[in-house]
Amino acid sequence: MFIPSGKRVKVNIWEKGIVFLGKVKQWNTEEVVIHQEITQKVWKFAYLEILKGKVKISIYSNS
C-alpha cells in the first residue's frame, strides 16, 4: 500500500478511537507521516502498524 505525498486522507487509530482528516507528508516502508488538518498536529506511524491494521489510512473524497 502506498499513498503519495499531498493526498488528503482519513486516518482511523482503532485502539484509541481517534479519527481525523489530514494530508500525507511522507510515506515509505518504515514510517508514515500525516499532517492533521484542523489541529495542525503531525502524526507519525510505523509502516508496520498500518500493515497490521492498527491504523487505517484511506484516501478521502468528499464527493
The predicted model scores a pTM of 0.90
pLDDT value at position 1?
A: 78
Contacts of 60 (CB under 8 A, 6+ apart): 8, 9, 10, 21
Asked whether 46 and 37 are in contact (CB, 8 A), the reply is no
CA–CA dist 27, 59 (Å, integer): 13
Distance, CA of 51 to CA of 40 (rounded, Å): 25
pLDDT per residue over 21-48, tens digit each? 999 999 999 999 999 999 999 999 999 9
- Other residues' Cβ atoms within 10 Å of the Cβ of residue 11: 21
Domain residue ranges in the chain: 8-59
Q: How would residue 62 be classed by pLDDT, with cut points 50, 70 and 90?
A: confident
**Nearest residue to 57 via CA among 30, 27, 16:** 27
